[in-house]
Structure 1
Amino acid sequence: MNPFRTQRPARRGGRLLALAAATVAALAPALTAGQAAAAGPAPVPALDVTSYLGTWNQLAAVPAPFNLECARDTQANYTLDPQGNVAVFNRCTTWDGGSNEIRGTARIIDQVSKAQLRVEFPNVPFQEDPAGTPNYIVTALGPDYSWAVVTDPSRLSGFVLSRTPALDDASWDQVRGAIEAAGQSPCVYLTSPTTGGIDTIAPLCTR
């Protein structure tokens, strides 16, 4: 849920793109085979939306063009809007030390689990979907909503979110297990630097 605007090319972002491309290319055969054999990722049985609101830190993500502007401290803040939808406010620190942010709206598509949502951002292309297909599926949650793993029906995106800027080793083990249970490989996730947490960008399977 982090489609930040890329305002200008970033040299370090280019190196990140190269790392991302190499990581995905290396894992592509296994990823494709695994996805072909599996159904769509299952949401958690029941999401308490009120407990899910608030600020989340992105600790790892599947690389995508829209987040290459973000160097560190990527956060998502969720609140309820007057229509009962989830108002989304994403922000991050860019490679030149500036700030990048975007606002959007998330609608609950799955009224049974509440864990499948459709997130849309103004002026972001390729979002048209009149049928309301979910593009944000909460597939795993830590104790007391301390962390979450999010993907989409195609498994092309993925986010590890945490209430704190760091997780302990036991929690990381649970996160990697949750990613694999959702039909993805931890190796296609790159760690997201945070102040007070991991300070390097590397495939999640290597830490």
Structure 2
Amino acid sequence: MNQLIRASLSSRLRTKLLIVGIFASASLLVACNENYAPMETVKQVELNRYLGKWYQVAYIPNSFQSMCVADTQAEYQLDDTDVRVINRCRTKDGSVEQANGIAKLVENSNNAKLRVSFFRPFYGNYWVLDLDSNYQWVLVGEPSRKYGWILSRTPQLDSALQKSILDKAETLGYQRSQFQVSAQSNPLK
């Protein structure tokens, strides 16, 4: 009986991995065939100043964050030449969901472009589009403009400052209406 259960679980796992693999491969092929309008990043990111905890203040909703309802945050830690990424959020039932990933710096980008993966070998773009000179807030996005985040060192941003960051996002080809404010009611420790 145990062998039958293990075989069934193994079969379901292989099926799920196959589906994920097909979806990821198709996504990569689509991404390779699309041309996007140029997008500028900041000139340079001082990685040691960027490391640490950031709170998600606003974002463009996406499928991989669909379980998150509040208190979303990201933490970046140096791991040799790469950056360890730890994303956490509160789910609908109040539990905390965590995703661990790795970010690789893109050569000749002055640390303004990274390739991030939570499911290797598949990587996505993470571009620093606007950054406070004191590293207190950041606008992050990628060339397709389907994904975007406003992160802050504090759980909330002043509304005028947030509007200014969204203005910058619009100049880069994003639509302000794409962004949704993130609930930060009980920040995770």
Match of 1:99 among 96, 112, 115: 96
Cα-to-partner distance string for 1:81-132 (whole Å, 9 max, x where unaligned): 0x32110000000011001001010001143321100001136xxx636xxx
1:47 aligns with 2:41: no
**Aligned twin of 1:146:** 136
Matched ranges for 1:1-207 at <5 A: 39-81=37-79, 83-122=80-119, 128=122, 135-195=125-185
Larger Rg computed on CA atoms: 2
Match of 2:145, as an amino acid?
A: R
How far is 1:182 from its partner? 1.7
How far is 1:196 from its partner? 6.9
- TM-score, normalising length from structure 2? 0.75
Match of 2:108, as an amino acid?
A: Q
Structure-2 change in CA distance of 1:162 and 1:176 (3 Å): same
RMSD between aligned residues: 2.1
Structure-2 change in CA distance of 1:71 and 1:112 (3 Å): closer
Which secondary structure does the structure 1 equivalent of 2:122 belong to? coil
How far is 1:162 from its partner? 0.5
Whether the aligned pair in 2 keeps the contact of 1:108 and 1:114 (CA below 8 Å) is yes
Which secondary structure does the structure 1 equivalent of 2:55 belong to? strand
Whether the aligned pair in 2 keeps the contact of 1:166 and 1:196 (CA below 8 Å) is no
5+ residue gaps, structure 2, are: 1-34
**Aligned twin of 2:13:** none
5+ residue gaps, structure 1, are: 1-35, 198-207
**Aligned twin of 1:17:** none
Runs of 4+ residues over 4 Å off in structure 1 = none
What is the percentage of aligned positions where both structures have the same residue? 36
